[in-house]
């Protein structure tokens, strides 16, 4: 649906569920149904609906809506209305796009985004305007580090979190010299940083760190360098459309058989249908695996498939938990956003029964969660074992005011 609407004007602000439609041309109002418990809570989705992360954005929104629907379409007794903006994963447009939601749309809460660079602009504005911000993906360390704030929560991960445990996994598999490869921006650099920390602590050596600009996908010259240097293994951070192409190119270059490929789990999450055989057997670390054996995960997956006709992935889990976290806050204050301190306190202390397993929040309001080693088996990210139980990001530089 977003795709069709975005076809009209992809930079437009979109409103789907009655109330207000905001387009590049201005704001139009429609009659609203009378709502017993006061005005609906205004939720602004700031996500990528176009570009290499487009599918990720839509999946997050889908699962957030699923969570709200499972609660009878109300949180803390209040209905919700949604506004969407496409951030295009373009950091240069981040401030303006976020400002549209905060100043013009006057949303109560922003849910977004995917790209770490765009996230930084959002975090800055959320701090200045004291807008409640729930981050459903982007892992940029500063959001729950030096730029942390009581009104900023993350239901996904820090970029360091999936990377760090993979260092030990790779060392334990017998690899001594590894080349890393990623897009050159916050997420890639921090993910590689996490891996490097874990791998070198265990005794390994990073032979080379290769980077290409985001969101380029001309991998060939880098694959040639890898083939020439013959490391014991390769660690990568790629996600979305870029991850699909990378995994296929790595296999097509004949490297998959000779040089084991590892990555943060985004490499194979939400991408497997398109990657096919090229992804089979790849091992990655992430805070989710498709077959986690808990009742919440089973029900979540079943309902997602029913609603959307597609298998959910880690991004769906993160969007779903963004809904769950907002529910904790609004339930605690019976939908009264003005009871802000009590709402934020309830969110900070939330213990979520997530499809990913148990999840709580660090002092910097980043998830404390298991990181799983997974392996692609028959088109699924299957659980191998817990790589690191209850891992908390160190939250360096966070001083809550």
Name which of residues 361 to 380 contact ligand PHB (CB under 6 A): none
Q: Tell whether residue 266 is a contact of ligand PHB (CB under 6 A).
A: yes
Q: Is 387 in the site for ligand PHB (CB under 6 A)?
A: no
Contacts 24+ apart (CB under 8 A), 119-122: 119/94, 119/143, 120/91, 120/94, 120/147, 120/186, 121/91, 121/94, 121/95, 122/46, 122/94, 122/98
Q: Report the SS3 class of residue 319.
A: helix
By CB under 6 A, tell whether 139 contacts ligand PHB.
yes
Using the rule CB under 6 A, which residue among 42, 115, 175, 348 binds ligand PHB?
115
DSSP H or E run through 292: none
Residue 90 C-alpha from the chain's centroid: 16
- Which of 12-20, 136-144, 202-210, 373-381 is the region at the interface with ligand PHB (rule: CB under 6 A)? 136-144
Q: Which is nearer to ligand PHB, 79 or 142 (CB)?
A: 142
Window 150-169: residues binding ligand PHB (CB under 6 A): 159
Least gap, CB of 117 to ligand PHB (angstroms):
7
Contact of 321 with 352, CB cutoff 8 Å: yes
* CB of 58 or CB of 74, closer to ligand PHB: 58
Tokens representing 20 are 């207000």
Give, rounded to a whole angstrom, the gap between the first and last alpha carbons of the chain: 41
C-beta of 316: minimal distance to ligand PHB in Å? 12
Q: Which stretch binds ligand PHB (CB under 6 A): 59-67, 137-145, 298-306, 354-362?
A: 137-145
Q: How far apart are the C-alpha atoms of 175 and 158, rounded to whole Å?
A: 25
Element (H, E) at 60: helix 54-70
As a whole number of angstroms, the distance between CA 56 and CA 312 comes to 11
For ligand PHB, give the closer residue by CB, 333 or 371: 371
If DSSP codes are grouped into helix, strand and coil, which group holds residue 281?
A: coil
Binding to ligand PHB by residue 114, rule CB under 6 A? yes
Query: Does residue 143 interact with ligand PHB by CB under 6 A?
Result: no
**Quick check: 116 binds ligand PHB (CB under 6 A)?**
yes
Q: Any idea what the Cα angle at residue 132 is, between residues 131 and 134, rounded to 5°?
A: 135
CB of 115 to ligand PHB, least distance (A): 4
Q: Check residue 140 for interaction with ligand PHB (CB under 6 A).
A: yes
If the CB atoms of residues 51 and 198 are measured against ligand PHB, the closer one turns out to be 51
Closest CB to ligand PHB among 88 and 108? Answer: 88
Rounded CA-CA distance 239/270 in Å is: 9
Piece in contact with ligand PHB (CB under 6 A), picked from 40-48, 108-116, 203-211, 271-279: 108-116
Nearest in space to 380 (alpha carbons), one of 281, 234, 242, 286 = 281
195 binds ligand PHB (CB under 6 A): no
CB of 114 to ligand PHB, least distance (A): 5
Integer Cα distance of 115 and 109 in angstroms: 18
* Residue 152 or 239 having the CB closest to ligand PHB: 239
| Nearest CB to ligand PHB, comparing residues 66 and 137 | 137
- Count each helix (H run) and each strand (E run) in the chain, helices first: 13, 18
Cβ(223)–Cβ(250) below 8 Å: yes
**133-141, 142-150, 198-206, 341-349 -> range binding ligand PHB (CB under 6 A):** 133-141
- The angle at the Cα of 66, spanning 63 to 71, to the nearest 5 degrees, equals 140
Q: Binder to ligand PHB among 6, 22, 110, 138 (CB under 6 A)?
A: 138
Residue 89 or 297 with smaller CB distance to ligand PHB: 89
Tell which residue, 238, 220, 227, 231, has the closest CA to residue 282: 238
Q: Among the residues of 254-339, which ranges form H helices?
A: 255-258, 272-275, 295-308, 314-332
Tell me whether residue 114 or residue 223 sits nearer to ligand PHB (CB atom). 114
- Segment 48 to 67, residues that bind ligand PHB, using CB under 6 A: 53
SS3 state at 268: helix
Q: Please report whether residue 272 would count as binding ligand PHB according to CB under 6 A.
A: no
Question: From residue 296 to residue 335, what is the string marking binding to ligand PHB with x (rule CB under 6 A)?
Answer: ----------------------------------------
What residues line the site for ligand PHB (CB under 6 A)? Answer: 53, 114-116, 137-140, 159, 187, 239, 266
């Amino acid at each position: 649906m977003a795709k069709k609407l975005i076809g009209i004007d992809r930079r437009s602000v979109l409103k789907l569920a009655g109330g207000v439609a905001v387009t590049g041309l201005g704001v139009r109002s429609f009659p609203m149904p009378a709502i017993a418990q006061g005005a609906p809570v205004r939720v602004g989705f700031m996500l990528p609906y176009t570009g290499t992360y487009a599918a990720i954005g839509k999946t997050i929104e889908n699962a957030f809506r699923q969570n709200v629907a499972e609660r009878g379409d109300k949180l803390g007794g209040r209905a919700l209305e949604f506004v969407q903006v496409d951030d295009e994963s373009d950091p240069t447009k981040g401030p303006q796009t976020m400002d549209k939601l905060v100043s013009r749309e006057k949303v109560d809460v922003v849910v977004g985004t995917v790209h770490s660079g765009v996230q930084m602009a959002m975090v800055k504005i959320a701090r200045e305007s004291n807008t409640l911000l729930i981050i459903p993906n982007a892992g940029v360390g500063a959001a729950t580090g030096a730029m942390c704030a009581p009104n900023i929560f993350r239901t996904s991960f820090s970029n360091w979190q999936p990377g760090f445990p993979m260092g030990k996994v790779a060392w334990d598999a017998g690899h001594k010299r590894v080349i890393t490869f990623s897009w050159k921006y916050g997420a890639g650099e921090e993910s590689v940083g996490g891996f490097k920390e874990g791998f070198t602590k265990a005794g390994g050596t990073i032979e080379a760190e290769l980077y290409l600009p985001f969101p380029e996908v001309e991998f060939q010259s880098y694959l040639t360098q890898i083939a020439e240097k013959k490391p014991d293994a390769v660690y990568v951070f790629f996600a979305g459309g870029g991850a699909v192409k990378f995994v296929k190119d790595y296999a097509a270059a004949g490297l998959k058989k000779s040089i084991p490929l590892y990555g943060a789990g985004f490499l194979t999450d939400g991408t497997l249908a398109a990657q096919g055989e090229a992804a089979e057997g790849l091992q990655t670390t992430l805070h989710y695996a498709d077959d986690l054996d808990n009742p919440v995960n089973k029900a979540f997956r079943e309902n997602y498939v029913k609603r959307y006709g597609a298998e959910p992935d880690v991004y769906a889990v993160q969007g779903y938990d963004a809904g769950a976290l907002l529910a904790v806050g609004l339930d605690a204050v019976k939908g009264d956003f003005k009871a802000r301190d009590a709402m934020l306190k309830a969110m900070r202390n939330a213990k979520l029964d997530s499809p990913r397993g148990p999840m709580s929040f660090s002092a910097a309001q980043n998830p404390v969660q298991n990181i799983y080693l997974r392996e692609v088996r028959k088109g699924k990210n299957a659980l191998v074992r817990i790589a690191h139980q209850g891992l908390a990001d160190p939250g360096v530089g966070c001083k809550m005011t």
